[in-house]
Structure 1
């Protein structure tokens, strides 16, 4: 018996299971992709992206971007050629569903969990692992990341190796958006939980061992959702929007997330040396993703600058029947660590998401931000983007490449080897043609991004619109 009566659910009416978001089940390997244009010979490495991709038709509910099995899509580049492979992140729950031939767990909102007769005592009565959001490499480990849970390690060929809890030191898991300090090599993480301590942060050293165990964040006395974080040379930056977990509502068939704007949004600066946190508060806003953060000066009293994509309220699921308008854009907050004050400004009011910078600038001042954006057409699904925008923090100007019939994903920066400028490199992304379902891997020059791709590699299967990825240069292996 399930732990919750399944609600009425029709997956054919869920926008994020349709069109360019629709899942695929075929796993393929192609050694030599068809390329239009020319892949720069200087690009040698792997571009890999994760994203929600249900292995079987969902039951109970489906909440994008939280639900869905992870699928990794990899494009290996070398000597101007490209090869492709996609693989599911095969968790114990997925293996159980494969044995059954259908979904056994419902979406997180439905609270459907199989019993021991169906899946055995180790998996019964528990949530399904969902390492479907991001993928990073740190200390030689390639990790498929979930939303505040243990990641799963995969090998160089994207085959799943197993759950990663860092030698038992982080059994509750980590965030889907850890930040790797390019100077120290440390990976800083956080984890939220439904029970105390509700929010902790930890540090994994350059060599992959835990150097700071889970440290509770004082001042957090309720369970709430935090998707992303930021890092500066001095601080861990967490934005606590008023998105609270409501398990009573979830058990009664309602939403497990409650948006309470009257509570406002708080930002906490946690000194990386273990000092006392600094809190700042503002009117309610939601963010999925930070851009970057940095200390605006060498002194302890100098401001902290945080760039992010803000939304006027929580946006999750976002079906076509969601009538309440939502506004957003690229924003910047300046936080005074001495007084705890916060000033927030809107840098660009375009509808954008999936912001990225040159990862070598994480925690330090950056110039360019790349984001997926919308051209204004009315036929896009919620969370679908058909252009890429580059924002210049020095001039305040933007450059845009319109992708036409292509739906584009998150842009990721690949620097030219031996070059340190943010303009010397290429932006990469997957894109899917809404007219015929064909998918492409795009390479866009950083020096003139508005000119569009210098190369397009045809992917042999459709790549569903997904979430986050990274560029892994061969020389770093």
Structure 2
């Protein structure tokens, strides 16, 4: 097909002026496979598996607008460990939009807030008028399926052998209406539980994928919402799917007249839904307004209450017309679904805490340790540190690598456990993977792996002990 331009296509976004398209966030366009990476220190010889991470990475310079982290094509990175050696691979998630843009050699779809879609004479009848798919937030492995997850759409399945894009996935109908980026896999039942929000009623659904990959529960409406809301993450206990419905509302009328698609309405307050996994009546708790991007974990207590650990923000940065800075903290909430009681205490009020993670084997169960990204007193500029919070002793320790560090991941080994994270040095723009001792992470890395290319900062990943 001869490349045809559309005179109505939006202007290119200025990469040089955009904070999330430059520096450690700048797009990576190379795809490579490299074995025997250079290691400083020593990788444990008995540690085998792979760390996989997905994140927003526009295939071509974006047009119209670019809102981080919602815009950007998926790029999956894999760091594999085997008998003391490490290798690296990365691939774009090739949706039909990415394939069409690769054929044209330029961006054809705008960012989501601009709303432009290319006409048939540019992309053909099949893609004309379609909204760009963005499986660029997270990556999940369940029942043999390796899936790149979008914010609120169907995921794309990848070949575990070489990360090739295989096509859209609906998990036997459980993701028929899509899925948010953070489904939770119950390590004790093997079920994957997920939810999805929508712009039209029903505004919120949840579903379950069984251990063999079958749809145990197809999308089921959650009653109690009368307008579309954005909900990024969820928590899971043995009894409940826990959803914090913070007042970030999709305002389609405003968007149609040039306003913001998302509206922060603190007068609505925050509502918390406790959805029984056995299909019983949804319980609701109402409280004051705050925002949550990510949960660490949740668990049931013998007295019927539920404990939820998460990072709480005063409001969502970038999505609210508020001049005062939004602040965050690691919070432990005690919730009583039966009475509606809700209390919370601060675990840590360190600046800019985010990306809370626990040992994934403890999801739905009580846990002692939470790791986050945050600021330390010695950080400079936008550099981040890893914080390790001991909820039993009430203490926390920090490792400051003097690089832009990413989400921590817990790595269980056969004889010892570790924390790992990707970081990029803003001075030399080199990316490295850091492996820390789980019992003494503040001592610094046991091993530092030099990655062959720069990995753009953000977002989410997981440890796969079966892949290497």
- Structure 1 length as normaliser, TM-score? 0.93
Correspondences of 1:106-145 after superposition (within 5 Å): 106-145=110-149
CA 1:306–1:2 in structure 2 vs 1: closer, same or farther (change >3 Å)?
farther
| 1:253 positional shift | 2.6
1:295-351, CA deviations, whole angstroms, 9 ceiling, x for partnerless residues? 011x5xx11011100100012479xx9843111110111111211121122211012
1:44 equivalent among 41, 48, 55: 48
| 1:138 positional shift | 0.3
CA contact (8 A) 1:328 1:349 kept: yes
SS of match in other structure, 1:360: helix
Indicate the residue corresponding to 1:223 in structure 2.
Answer: 228
2:66 equivalent among 62, 70, 88: 62
Distance in 2 between residues matched to 1:184 and 1:336, nearest whole Å: 24
Distance in 2 between residues matched to 1:112 and 1:448, nearest whole Å: 50
SS of match in other structure, 1:249: helix
1:225-265, CA deviations, whole angstroms, 9 ceiling, x for partnerless residues? 00000000000000000000112222333221100111111
SS of match in other structure, 1:97: helix
1:285 equivalent among 281, 285, 290: 290
| 1:377 positional shift | 6.2
Indicate the residue corresponding to 2:356 in structure 1.
Answer: 355
Tell me whether 434-443 or 120-129 shows the greater mean CA deviation. Answer: 120-129
Distance in 2 between residues matched to 1:287 and 1:261, nearest whole Å: 13
Distance in 2 between residues matched to 1:274 and 1:108, nearest whole Å: 35
Correspondences of 1:18-97 after superposition (within 5 Å): 18-97=22-101
Distance in 1 between residues matched to 2:7 and 2:299, nearest whole Å: 46
Indicate the residue corresponding to 2:102 in structure 1.
Answer: 98
Correspondences of 1:461-476 after superposition (within 5 Å): 461-474=453-466
CA 1:66–1:376 in structure 2 vs 1: closer, same or farther (change >3 Å)?
farther
CA 1:317–1:240 in structure 2 vs 1: closer, same or farther (change >3 Å)?
closer
Indicate the residue corresponding to 2:373 in structure 1.
Answer: 372
CA contact (8 A) 1:7 1:110 kept: no
| 1:118 positional shift | 1.4
Does residue 343 of structure 2 align to residue 309 of structure 1? Answer: no
Correspondences of 1:301-450 after superposition (within 5 Å): 302-316=304-318, 323-351=323-351, 352-376=353-377, 380-381=381-382, 385-404=383-402, 406-417=403-414, 424-450=416-442
SS of match in other structure, 1:15: coil
| 1:28 positional shift | 0.7
CA contact (8 A) 1:3 1:114 kept: no
| 1:119 positional shift | 1.4
Indicate the residue corresponding to 1:458 in structure 2.
Answer: 450
SS of match in other structure, 2:73: coil
1:415-472, CA deviations, whole angstroms, 9 ceiling, x for partnerless residues? 122x6xxxx4011111101111011011011011000110011011001101000110
Distance in 2 between residues matched to 1:453 and 1:170, nearest whole Å: 39
Aligned length: 462
Does residue 240 of structure 2 align to residue 235 of structure 1? Answer: yes
SS of match in other structure, 2:231: coil
CA 1:337–1:3 in structure 2 vs 1: closer, same or farther (change >3 Å)?
farther
Distance in 2 between residues matched to 1:463 and 1:203, nearest whole Å: 33
1:368-388, CA deviations, whole angstroms, 9 ceiling, x for partnerless residues? 00111112468534xxx5210
SS of match in other structure, 2:20: helix
Correspondences of 1:197-212 after superposition (within 5 Å): 197-212=202-217
CA 1:236–1:431 in structure 2 vs 1: closer, same or farther (change >3 Å)?
same
| 1:166 positional shift | 2.1
SS of match in other structure, 2:253: helix
CA 1:249–1:2 in structure 2 vs 1: closer, same or farther (change >3 Å)?
farther
CA 1:193–1:209 in structure 2 vs 1: closer, same or farther (change >3 Å)?
same
Unpaired runs of at least 5, structure 1:
none
Distance in 2 between residues matched to 1:172 and 1:2, nearest whole Å: 31
CA contact (8 A) 1:65 1:316 kept: no
Indicate the residue corresponding to 1:147 in structure 2.
Answer: 151
CA contact (8 A) 2:315 2:326 kept: yes
Unpaired runs of at least 5, structure 2:
none
CA 1:155–1:317 in structure 2 vs 1: closer, same or farther (change >3 Å)?
farther
The RMSD of aligned alpha carbons is 2.0
2:185 equivalent among 180, 192, 212: 180
Tell me whether 63-72 or 367-376 shows the greater mean CA deviation. Answer: 367-376
| 1:221 positional shift | 1.2
